[in-house]
Amino acid sequence: MKFAVIQFPGSNCDLDMYHAVKDVLGEEAEYVWHDEADLSGFDGVLVPGGFSFGDYLRCGAIARFSNIMKEVVKAAEAGKPVLGVCNGFQVLTEAGLLPGALLRNRDLKFMCRNVTLKVENAGTMFTAEYAEGDELTIPIAHGEGNYYCDDETYSKLKESGRIVFTYSGDNPNGSVGDIAGILNEKGNVLGMMPHPERAVEKLLGSDDGLKMFQSIVKEWRESHANYA
């Protein structure tokens, strides 16, 4: 499976994404600069964390207009897996691929530490290797990770199983419903604030994020088995 790791000016988790896919999983990965306009040669798209365009105006607001985002939208519409982490989550909401918005953390402070996530839905292409109710140790590093949506949107997310991860025990940023990660309606676009790519090896303190990348590869291979 071949992944595109999108790079914006200010991205700083692109190397972590590349390492998780290329070095740990042993899959193909390439960096794709934001000015590029073709993702047709890739099977999955990773939108990493960082501070795209310095987080000016609003986190992800400028990155949303980059050439490559038109291709990310096309990839999502084609059913390819798209994972946006931290700033990547913010970019996906700005691009309209996911509902809601990311606000300043409740305490108005940047937070960088491990949190405990609960797997709310293990029946997705991103969580197939987990079990529902699993608790994961995953790091966060954000100042604007407070997920917000209106009551109607929240009800739709909850009823349709599109809330994939919640914070367990401690909500670090004030997100509605303790939300840490959500899916689009089709189920192939996941946005989350915690960083699974920084939790793929025990050496890093946790390898609880590895199964997410393994899930993506497994589900992709199974869906393409008939075309091999």
User: Is 144 noted as a catalytic residue in this protein?
Assistant: no
Among residues 86, 94, 149, 219, which one is catalytic? 86
Q: Quick one: three-class SS letters along the chain?
A: CEEEEEECCCECCHHHHHHHHHHHHCCEEEEEECCCCCCCCCCEEEECCECHHHHCCCCCCCHHHCHHHHHHHHHHHCCCCEEEECHHHHHHHHCCCCCCEEECCCCCCCEEEEEEEEECCCCCCCCCCCCCCCEEEEEEEECCCEEECCHHHHHHHHHCCCEEEEECCCCCCCCHHHEEEEECCCCCEEEECCCHHHCCEHHHCECCCHHHHHHHHHHHHHHCHHHC
Determine whether 195 is an active site residue: yes
197 is catalytic: yes
Catalytic residue among 120, 144, 197, 219: 197
Catalytic residues: 86, 195, 197
